[in-house]
Amino acid sequence: MPLFGAHESVAGGLHLAFKRIESVGGDSLQIFTRNQRQWKPKPLSEKEVKDFLTTREQYAGMPVASHASYLINLATAKEELLAKSVDALAMEFTRCHQLAVPYVVIHPGSHGGDGVEAGLERFVAGMDNALESGYDDVMLLIETTAGQGTGLGSRFEEIGYIRANSKFPERIGVCVDTCHIFAAGYDLRTAEAYEATMQALDEHVGVEHVKFIHLNDSKKDLGCRVDRHEHIGDGMIGLEGFRLLVNDPRFAEMPMTLETPKGEDLAEDRENIAKLKNLLN
């Protein structure tokens, strides 16, 4: 069965995210290694690294990913922003290497009005620049997006272009977000529509390159190009779309993490994970 989990807070210490995911019955985890809204966060302390690695030993085999800063835009034409973005991604690689976190999830960024082709070329160049100074034990996962504004990554062809044109394709995987692809126009709600979407994903990206999945329902309808996450089954995708996904043998044992709204008691994570488990055949 898939490894259901969630993005959890690291408040009070990075290692505490493991306790939080355990408390909701999760088997996979996504975190921020540092504040996602800061360009130059402090390096990890020896204590942080030790506490995280020690705690992680108790959760051997649990897939863990870090989500890179939302500030990063490797597709920008602005030289200062690009330089800061490359540096920020390189620092993320360093932190993940120190923490033995094998995946970094990143959005493809925005072309700023210069067009998809120009944006993709800049993204690949900036990404490869960061990968050159990165670590072989950390894979970059390009996340599918909803297609808002001038954002890249809403079409599977664009994700495929990134892998095909990088100097380091073996270090690049994919993170599929259900809300994002639905908002981008890829339907999941019926068996026929779901299979058409998966065939398109396989044709342009390759399902074997999908390493993480974000499970989010969508507040808005198919093709809206608006990124608004909703609890599982409460949005426009509905339970049937998630039933098809979690029972798809192509994604057996795949880490599937929630990015849905929640309070401090994490009750929503428990409810959503329980819903997902109930959908399994």
* Residue of 7, 34, 95, 107 marked active site: 107
Mean pLDDT value across residues 205-218: 98
Of the candidates 59, 96, 10, the one whose C-alpha atom is nearest the C-alpha of residue 255 is 59
For residue 266, the model assigns a pLDDT of 98
Write out pLDDT tens, residues 29-87.
999 999 988 898 999 999 999 999 999 999 989 999 999 999 999 999 999 999 999 99
Q: Is residue 215 part of a domain?
A: yes
User: Does the annotation count 214 as an active-site position?
Assistant: yes
Write out pLDDT tens, residues 37-51.
889 899 999 999 999
* Residue of 229, 231, 243, 269 marked active site: 229
CA distances from 37 to 30, 62, 69, 70, 72 (A): 17, 27, 6, 7, 9
Q: Is residue 259 part of a domain?
A: yes
Please tell me the total number of residues recorded for the chain in this structure: 281
Q: Is residue 275 part of a domain?
A: no
Q: Encode burial over 206-244: b for 16+ CB neighbours within 10 A, e otherwise.
A: ebebbbbbbbbbbbbebebbebebbbbbebbbebebbbb
User: Does the annotation count 161 as an active-site position?
Assistant: no
Q: Is residue 139 part of a domain?
A: yes
Using DSSP, state whether 280 is helix, strand or coil.
Answer: coil
For residue 244, the model assigns a pLDDT of 98
For residue 88, the model assigns a pLDDT of 96
User: Does the annotation count 227 as an active-site position?
Assistant: yes
Q: Is residue 243 part of a domain?
A: yes
Amino acid making up residue 171: R
Are the C-beta atoms of 135 and 99 separated by less than 8 Å? no
Confidence of residue 133 (pLDDT cuts 50, 70, 90): confident
User: Does the annotation count 107 as an active-site position?
Assistant: yes
* Residue of 227, 231, 243, 269 marked active site: 227
User: Does the annotation count 259 as an active-site position?
Assistant: yes
For residue 74, the model assigns a pLDDT of 98
For residue 117, the model assigns a pLDDT of 98
For residue 36, the model assigns a pLDDT of 87
User: Does the annotation count 177 as an active-site position?
Assistant: yes
Mean pLDDT value across residues 198-211: 98
Write down the H helix ranges in 38-115: 46-56, 79-99
CATH number at residue 115: 3.20.20.150
Q: Is residue 160 part of a domain?
A: yes
Confidence of residue 223 (pLDDT cuts 50, 70, 90): very high
- As a whole-number percent, the residues of the chain with pLDDT over 90 amount to 97
Q: Is residue 184 part of a domain?
A: yes
* Residue of 202, 230, 234, 259 marked active site: 259
Q: Distance (Å, rounded) from C-alpha 150 to C-alpha 210?
A: 24
Q: Is the pLDDT of residue 134 over 80?
A: no
Q: Which residues contact 29 (CB under 8 A, 6 or more apart)?
A: 5, 6, 7, 8, 17, 18, 21, 62, 63, 64, 65, 257
Write out pLDDT tens, residues 108-125.
999 999 999 999 999 999
Write out pLDDT tens, residues 145-182.
999 999 999 999 999 999 999 999 999 999 999 999 99
The structure tokens 């921020």 sit at 32
Mean pLDDT value across residues 229-250: 98
Mean pLDDT value across residues 221-239: 98
* Residue of 180, 209, 231, 243 marked active site: 180
Q: Distance (Å, rounded) from C-alpha 226 to C-alpha 180?
A: 8
Average pLDDT, the chain: 97
User: Does the annotation count 180 as an active-site position?
Assistant: yes
* Residue of 37, 157, 195, 253 marked active site: 37
Q: Which residues contact 12 (CB under 8 A, 6 or more apart)?
A: none
Helix 156-165 × helix 191-204 angle, to 10°: 20
For residue 257, the model assigns a pLDDT of 98
Q: Answer yes or no: pTM beyond 0.85.
A: yes
Q: Distance (Å, rounded) from C-alpha 265 to C-alpha 90?
A: 34
Write out pLDDT tens, residues 253-277.
999 999 999 999 999 999 999 999 9
Q: For 250, which DSSP code?
A: G
List the domain range (segments joined by +) for residue 145: 3-266
* Residue of 67, 95, 155, 171 marked active site: 67
> Number of folded domains in the chain?
1
The structure tokens 């909803």 sit at 146
Q: Is residue 274 part of a domain?
A: no
